[in-house]
Amino acid sequence: MLWAIIISGLPHQCEPVIEPLLETLNPRTVIITDATIPASAHANRKLRDRLEHHNFAVWFTSDSGALTLGLKDARWNIDSAIPRQNSPVTAAAEPDSTVPTDNEPAD
């Protein structure tokens, strides 16, 4: 089974990470590279609400600061510059956690 991590910026004229893409890729996590200023570079509430209603981890770099994505031996982890609280939507990709692939047993 395919698993994906989607990393996207904010396009100027359309919505990032559209629903057909999410349905096709069924990602484990989505990272939106946005900023706090200028306002046009910040993910709006509509986008945040839409993505946070899915069953995958969602990261916004305006909230997390820099992210480091580690890939090793078919496992991955994400470390953020700004720690965040654990939530059911983001538990799979919390800093210092490792997520198994579909054919790899969990520890």
Domain assignment present for residue 25? The answer is: yes
pLDDT digits (tens, 9 = 90+) for 32-55: 999 999 998 999 999 999 999 999
- Please report the sign of the dihedral spanned by the C-alpha atoms of residue 95, residue 56, residue 71, residue 107: positive
CB 65, CB 43: distance < 8 Å: no
Domain extent, residue 77, equals 5-93
Count of helices and strands (H, E) across the chain:
3, 5
Domain assignment present for residue 39? The answer is: yes
Domain assignment present for residue 20? The answer is: yes
The count of structural domains within the chain is: 1
For residues 78 and 96, give the distance between their C-alpha atoms in angstroms, rounded to a whole number: 7
Domain assignment present for residue 17? The answer is: yes
Say yes or no to pLDDT of 94 above 80. no
63: nearest Cα among 18, 98, 33, 86: 33
Domain assignment present for residue 106? The answer is: no
* pTM of the predicted structure, to 2 decimals: 0.74
> What is the average pLDDT across 67-83?
88
